[in-house]
C-alpha cells in the first residue's frame, strides 16, 4: 500500500515538473516572438527614418521634372557643376527612368574625372535603352579607368548600332592599339579614316601602322596622300624619301 502511495506521489511530481517545463517553454517561445516583433518594428522604424533623411537631403522639385531638367542643363552648360549635379540627382530620384538626366549625370562625372560614377550612370542607361551614344560614353568611362577589354566591348556595341561616327571607330582603334592588337587597331583606324578622308593625323597613324606591319607600299601611298594635302610637310617628305 505504501509503495502505491509512493508511486502515485512520484507520478504527480513528474506531471507537475512536465507542466512547469511546458509553461516555461511556452513563455520562452512567446518571449522570442516578442523579441522578433520588436526587432522588426525597429527595422521598420529605421527604414522610415532613413527614407525621411533621403527625402530631406534631396531638394524639392518645384515646377515639375521637365522644367528642372532644363534648369540643370543650363547650369551644366554654364559650368556650375555642383548645382547641376544636385538638381540632376533629384530628378533621377523623382523619375528613375529619366534618360536625359542619367546621361547628363554621366557626362558631368566624366567632366569631373569621377569615372567610376560616370560608368554607373552610363551602365544604367544602356540597360534602359540600347543607344550607340550611351554605349560610346560607357566605353569612354571604362577606358579612363584602363579597363580596356570592357571598353572595347562597349565601343563594339556602339558601332554595331551605328558605325557612321569616325570618332567612335577611332576610339575603338585606340583601345585595340593599347591592348597590343595591331590588326584590329589598323582595321578600325582604316574605317575611321574612310569616314574622315581629310584628317591628315589619321592618315599619318595609318602610315605608321603600315610601316610597322611591313606594308611599305601602303605606307608610301598614305604618305603621298598627306603630301597632296600638305605639300610642304618636310617630315613626310623625308619619310617618303626613306621608303
How does pLDDT run across 50-97, given as a tens digit for each residue?
Answer: 444 433 344 556 667 888 889 989 999 999 899 999 999 999 998 999
23-27, 104-108, 200-204, 208-212: least confidently modelled range: 23-27
Q: 213: part of which helix (H) or strand (E)?
A: none
Per-residue pLDDT for 215 more than 80? yes
**Where in the chain does DSSP place strands (E)?**
none
The full DSSP string for 75-98 is HHHTT-HHHHHHHHHHHHHH-TT-
pLDDT at 119: 97
Q: Read off the pLDDT band of 8 (50, 70, 90).
A: very low
Rounded-to-integer distance, Cα 76 and Cα 105, Å: 9
Q: Please state the pTM of the whole predicted model.
A: 0.72
More confident residue, 158 or 68: 158
pLDDT at 3: 41
Per-residue pLDDT for 234 more than 80? yes
Output the CATH code of domain 186-243: 1.25.40.10
Per-residue pLDDT for 41 more than 80? no
Mean pLDDT of 133-144: 97
CB-count exposure of residue 88 (10 Å: 0-12, 13-18, 19+)? buried
24-38, 116-130, 225-239: least confidently modelled range: 24-38
Asked whether 199 and 222 are in contact (CB, 8 A), the reply is no
CB atoms within 10 A of CB 59: 12
Nearest to 147 by CA among 175, 109, 174: 175
Q: Read off the pLDDT band of 241 (50, 70, 90).
A: confident
pLDDT tens string 160-196: 999 999 999 999 999 999 999 999 999 999 999 999 9
Mean pLDDT of 119-133: 96
Query: In percent, how much of the chain has pLDDT > 70?
Result: 74
Structural domain boundaries in the chain: 186-243
pLDDT at 206: 95
Amino acid at each position: 500500500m505504501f509503495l502505491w502511495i509512493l508511486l502515485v506521489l512520484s507520478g504527480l511530481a513528474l506531471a507537475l515538473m512536465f507542466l512547469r517545463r511546458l509553461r516555461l517553454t511556452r513563455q520562452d517561445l512567446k518571449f522570442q516572438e516578442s523579441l522578433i516583433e520588436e526587432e522588426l518594428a525597429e527595422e521598420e522604424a529605421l527604414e522610415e527614418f532613413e527614407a525621411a533623411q533621403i527625402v530631406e537631403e534631396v531638394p524639392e522639385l518645384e515646377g515639375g521634372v521637365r522644367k528642372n531638367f532644363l534648369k540643370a542643363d543650363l547650369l551644366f552648360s554654364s559650368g556650375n557643376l555642383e548645382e547641376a549635379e544636385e538638381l540632376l540627382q533629384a530628378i533621377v530620384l523623382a523619375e528613375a527612368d529619366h534618360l536625359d538626366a542619367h546621361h547628363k549625370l554621366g557626362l558631368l562625372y566624366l567632366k569631373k574625372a569621377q569615372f567610376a560614377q560616370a560608368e554607373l550612370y552610363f551602365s544604367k542607361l544602356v540597360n534602359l535603352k540600347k543607344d550607340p551614344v550611351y554605349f560610346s560614353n560607357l566605353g569612354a568611362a571604362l577606358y579612363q579607368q584602363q579597363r580596356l577589354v570592357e571598353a572595347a566591348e562597349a565601343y563594339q556595341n556602339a558601332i554595331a548600332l551605328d558605325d557612321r561616327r569616325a570618332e567612335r571607330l577611332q576610339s575603338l582603334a585606340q583601345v585595340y592599339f593599347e591592348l597590343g592588337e595591331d590588326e584590329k587597331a589598323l582595321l578600325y583606324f582604316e574605317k575611321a579614316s574612310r569616314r574622315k578622308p581629310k584628317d591628315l593625323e589619321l592618315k599619318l597613324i595609318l602610315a605608321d601602322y603600315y610601316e610597322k606591319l611591313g606594308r611599305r607600299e601602303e605606307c608610301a601611298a598614305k604618305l603621298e596622300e598627306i603630301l597632296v594635302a600638305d605639300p610642304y610637310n618636310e617630315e613626310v617628305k623625308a619619310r617618303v624619301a626613306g621608303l
